[in-house]
């Protein structure tokens, strides 16, 4: 159960680091890249692989470092057109002969080397990369090829043997996940006095859950109790399941989760919960590689008539 608490912190950290202007800007540029590189045939838009495995500590340190870099560069290279030009992960900015900035694939050898195993990542090709920088630089070099299209960041940490997920174990997964999602939201609600992690509408919904005395408190619960609570307090789970979907459905906001969009949730979880991969695979009931809101809700036991797109915004 400790796993879920650690995970809670990870996600809370991610949510707090959430949608910044920078991310939006990166997306716009990512789209420009696609237009500029029309000669490369891609079957679907190349989307930004979101930051994975961010915990509150890493996020703070990382942002601090970046702030210092920018400050120093501003003084030295005030007229460098790359300064305010953001490239998506795996690319870096370079200027061409006309001093126009453009994004090119980063040479993996320019990535900072890992400070420990915890920085390694495992690709869907079951190859370990030193850091996510190495992974995205390598993926960039394969852009436009079938191999590159299929390659995704699978999970945080070096590749390892992962036990097969048994049917009985698979059925336990949504029980715990649902309970966890509800607790993440309540925790955000409790912390969210002024920093607006939740919108007013969302707060009202979570307030109802928070103030419900019958609510199962966060902590270790037997699977029987979790199952019983879901049956008895089913309504309390509807919003948390929708909310998580909305958190992930960002690139683009279209009611479908791609592999990349799911990554912030999957990647830290897989090494700890061996049913993660199978759960999300089966969640894509029609096997079109996207998890639609209806598919997502149904994986978590939400009835069809309670699936509501308006709950997400």
Number of residues that bind ligand NAG (CB under 6 A): 4
Q: Which stretch binds ligand NAG (CB under 6 A): 6-14, 39-47, 153-161, 275-283?
A: 153-161
Q: How far apart are CA 138 and CA 129, in angstroms?
A: 9
Distance in Å, CB of 278 to ligand NAG, minimum? 13
R_g over Cα of the chain: 21
With beta carbons less than 8 A apart as the criterion, state whether 90 and 137 touch: yes
For ligand NAG, give the closer residue by CB, 71 or 161.
161
Phi, psi torsion values for 197, nearest 5 degrees: -75, -25
Residue 128 DSSP code: E
Euclidean distance between the first and the last CA atom of the chain, given in angstroms as a whole number: 31
Give the number of other CB atoms < 10 A from CB of residue 273. Answer: 21
For Ca ion, give the closer residue by CB, 61 or 253.
253
Distance in Å, CB of 158 to ligand NAG, minimum? 7
The maximal CA–CA distance of the chain, rounded, in angstroms, is 67
With beta carbons less than 8 A apart as the criterion, state whether 94 and 102 touch: yes
Q: How far apart are CA 237 and CA 302, in angstroms?
A: 8
Q: Convert 194-246 into a string of H (helix), E (strand) and C (coil).
A: CCCCCCHHHHHHHHHHHHCCCCCCCCCCCHHHHHHHHHHCCHHHHHHHHHHHH
Q: Which of 254, 281, 308, 309 binds Ca ion (CB under 5 A)?
A: 254
Distance in Å, CB of 280 to Ca ion, minimum? 11
Phi, psi torsion values for 81, nearest 5 degrees: -65, -15
Residue 286 contacts which entry, Ca ion, ligand NAG, none (Cβ below 5-8 A, type-dependent): Ca ion
Residue 160 contacts which entry, Ca ion, ligand NAG, none (Cβ below 5-8 A, type-dependent): ligand NAG
Distance in Å, CB of 127 to ligand NAG, minimum? 8
- Contact between 126 and ligand NAG by CB under 6 A: the answer reads yes
Q: Which of 160, 191, 207, 208 binds ligand NAG (CB under 6 A)?
A: 160
- Contact between 227 and ligand NAG by CB under 6 A: the answer reads no
Element (H, E) at 291: strand 291-292
- Contact between 249 and Ca ion by CB under 5 A: the answer reads yes
Q: Which of 63, 288, 303, 309 binds Ca ion (CB under 5 A)?
A: 288
Distance in Å, CB of 65 to ligand NAG, minimum? 31
Distance in Å, CB of 260 to Ca ion, minimum? 9
Residue 288 contacts which entry, Ca ion, ligand NAG, none (Cβ below 5-8 A, type-dependent): Ca ion
- Contact between 161 and ligand NAG by CB under 6 A: the answer reads yes
Phi, psi torsion values for 104, nearest 5 degrees: -125, 160
- Contact between 5 and ligand NAG by CB under 6 A: the answer reads no
With beta carbons less than 8 A apart as the criterion, state whether 255 and 146 touch: no
For ligand NAG, give the closer residue by CB, 126 or 145.
126
Residues binding ligand NAG (CB under 6 A):
126, 159-161
List contacts with Ca ion (CB under 5 A).
Answer: 249, 254, 256, 284, 286, 288, 290
């Amino acid at each position: 159960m400790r796993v879920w608490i650690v995970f809670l912190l990870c996600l809370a950290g991610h949510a707090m680091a959430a949608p910044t202007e920078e991310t939006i800007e990166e997306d716009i540029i990512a789209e420009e890249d696609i237009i500029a590189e029309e000669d490369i045939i891609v079957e679907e838009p190349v989307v930004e692989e979101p930051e994975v495995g961010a915990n509150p500590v890493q996020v703070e340190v990382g942002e601090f470092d970046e702030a210092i870099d920018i400050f120093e560069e501003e003084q030295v290279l005030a007229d460098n057109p790359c300064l305010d030009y953001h490239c998506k992960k795996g690319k870096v900015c370079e200027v061409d002969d006309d001093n126009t900035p453009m994004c090119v694939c980063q040479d993996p050898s320019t990535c900072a080397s890992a400070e420990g195993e915890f920085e390694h990542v495992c690709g869907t090709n079951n190859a370990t990369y030193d850091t996510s920088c190495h992974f995205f630089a390598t993926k960039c070099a394969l852009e436009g090829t079938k191999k590159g299209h299929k390659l995704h960041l699978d999970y945080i940490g070096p590749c390892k043997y992962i036990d097969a997920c048994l049917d009985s174990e698979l059925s336990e997964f949504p029980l715990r996940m649902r309970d966890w999602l509800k607790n993440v939201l309540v925790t955000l609600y409790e912390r969210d006095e002024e920093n607006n992690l939740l919108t007013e509408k969302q707060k009202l919904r979570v307030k109802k859950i928070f103030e419900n005395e019958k609510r199962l408190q966060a902590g270790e619960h037997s699977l029987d109790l979790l199952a019983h609570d879901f049956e008895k307090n089913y309504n309390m789970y509807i919003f948390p399941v929708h909310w998580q979907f909305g958190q992930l459905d960002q690139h683009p906001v279209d009611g479908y989760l791609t592999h990349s969009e799911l990554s912030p949730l999957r990647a830290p979880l897989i090494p700890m919960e061996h049913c993660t991969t199978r759960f999300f695979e089966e969640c894509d009931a029609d096997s079109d590689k996207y998890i639609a809101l209806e598919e997502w809700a149904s994986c978590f036991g939400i009835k069809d008539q309670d699936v509501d797109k308006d709950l997400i915004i």
